[in-house]
Amino acid sequence: MKKNPKDYLILALDVDTMDEAKTLVRELKDYVAEFKVGLQLYTSVGPDVFKMIHDEGSRVFFDGKFHDIPNTVAKAGANLVQKGVNIFTVHIKGGSKMISTTVKLARETAKRLEVERPKILGVSILTSFGQRTLTEEIKVNLNIDDYALELSKIAKDSGLDGVLSASSDVASIKQACGEDFICICPAARPTWSVVNDQVRVITPGNAVKAGFDRIIIGRPITSSPDKAQAAQLILDEIEASLLMQDEERFI
């Protein structure tokens, strides 16, 4: 087996208060690789949440999904290097100049501070988007998976470490951008949970089987009456999928 199931799981801390976030981190830190701080929590409690997660001995994924002019995004990225986050995100639609400027400044800042540079990942198309929204509202006439692939190639060429990507496109992204290009699935849904506002979902087991390096899960765990049990069920599903892959390799 290549990895511990826990290394695959990122928990989305989509809550409003530090107390709620701390309770989740304390209860679930043994089940997940990283805690993802998104706009909901960050706009409520600010960067103190990074310190809280670090103090609990865990790692931070800041999902700020930056999309602004190159200088602004690069300076924000440099601030995140100083705050010791492990991963942060930008919108690939911000363009290659925005991305490459951000990667360069993050690298220089990490070198100056003698710390590890965070992984910088690109968001291609939100998983709450389907083909209809893309075509009729945004007026993009490409097939949604082809569009995600084109954006992923821009991400790779501009220096990003990987992408957040939906269900059906991971194999083609890995093929085009290389096996080491990190693919994270932000819309994993176990069969026993509700889909909420996500559109293109995949089960944790199938996400691992499809080749995703990590999966992000929020509400299926955080809305569960027994959160640790929900997390364990997901880890069991990931483990079963990894074992099945190992067995297939030996056949």
Residues near ligand C5P (CB under 6 A): 12, 14, 38, 63, 123, 126-127, 164, 186-187, 196, 198, 216-219
65 is catalytic: yes
Q: Which is nearer to ligand C5P, 5 or 109 (CB)?
A: 5
Shortest Cβ distance from residue 71 to ligand C5P (Å)?
A: 24
Shortest Cβ distance from residue 190 to ligand C5P (Å)?
A: 10
Q: Which is nearer to ligand C5P, 105 or 170 (CB)?
A: 170
**166, two tokens:** 């939906």
Cβ contacts of residue 132 below 8 Å, gap of 6+? none
Torsion angle in degrees (nearest 10) through CA of 56, 61, 65, 69: 90
Shortest Cβ distance from residue 243 to ligand C5P (Å)?
A: 24
Q: Which is nearer to ligand C5P, 105 or 125 (CB)?
A: 125
Q: Which single residue is written with the structure tokens 């880890």?
A: 235
Cβ of 26: how many Cβ atoms within 10 Å? 12
Rounded to a whole number of angstroms, the distance between the first and last alpha carbons of the chain is 15
- Judged on CB neighbours under 10 Å (0-12, 13-18, 19+), 229 is exposed
Shortest Cβ distance from residue 247 to ligand C5P (Å)?
A: 29
Residue 181 gets the label, from left (phi > 0), alpha (psi -120 to 50) or beta, of beta
Q: Which is nearer to ligand C5P, 100 or 128 (CB)?
A: 128
CA angle, 172 then 178 then 179, to 5°: 90
Q: Which is nearer to ligand C5P, 105 or 166 (CB)?
A: 166
Which residue's C-beta sits nearest to ligand C5P? 218
Is residue 211 within 8 A of residue 203, CB to CB? The reply is no
Shortest Cβ distance from residue 126 to ligand C5P (Å)?
A: 4
Residue 61 belongs to what H/E stretch?
strand 60-66
Which residue among the candidates 2, 3, 22, 65 is catalytic per the annotation?
A: 65
Cα distance between residue 113 and residue 170, in whole Å: 34
* Residues acting as catalytic residues: 65
